[in-house]
Amino acid sequence: MAVGSNYRDRVREIALGEYGFVTTRQAASAGVPAVELRKLAARGALIHVAYGIYRVPDAPGTAFDQFAEALLRVGEGAYLRGDSVLALFGLADVNPRKVRVIAPKRTRARFPAFMEVAAPPPGEARGLTRYEGLLAMRVADAILDCLGRIEPTRLREAARDARKQGLVTRVEYAKVQRELGKALGRTAAS
């Protein structure tokens, strides 16, 4: 087997477990030098997505590809926020125009129009978890994060659906219902 095809196989194996993407760091860990990624891209075996990020062109697409790409573009420690987390599970019937990502470190990179990148809100001490391998706010926190952008009644429905799917605990569900009840009370008083 030629060295190039061996590199191609290694890169493909990584990418198939990462929504079709591979980073230069992942490739280096598998013994594939960055220069080989550039060569594979020049031959059409990879698509250069952004600095240090490549995609296998024939990787099967999923509903999570754009979320994975957004997180990779922002970098280590980035996580999905608010309605982007709800969109992962089809909660609150949201279809956000942008993937909302929190960048724990300052970034100067330019991002495509499908992304909205922000610094963590001051004092934010939310728990993070992985859903489908993607770092994100917990669903309960994501629901509350959407207050003011999505109607409280839709968020209440999202909380019920999340509870049925086992995405929130009983304690988290009770907290979310309390907060949504307060929000509904404020809107009724307006």
Residues in the chain: 190
pLDDT value at residue 13: 93
Centre a 10 Å sphere on the Cβ of residue 155 and count the other Cβ atoms it contains.
26
pLDDT value, residue 190: 43
Helix boundaries (H) for 124-169: 139-145, 152-164
Which residues, including other chains, have CB under 8 Å from residue 13's CB and lie 6 or more apart? 30
Rounded to the nearest angstrom, the gap between the alpha carbon of residue 173 and the centroid of all alpha carbons in its chain is 23
User: What is the reported pLDDT for 117?
Assistant: 95
Tell me whether strands 99-102 and 115-118 are parallel, antiparallel or unpaired: parallel
* pLDDT for the residue 187: 53
Closest by CA position to 140, among listed 163, 117, 164:
163
pLDDT computed for residue 123 by the predictor:
65
Pairing of strands 99-102, 53-55: unpaired
Where the chain has pLDDT below 50, the residues are: 1-2, 188-190
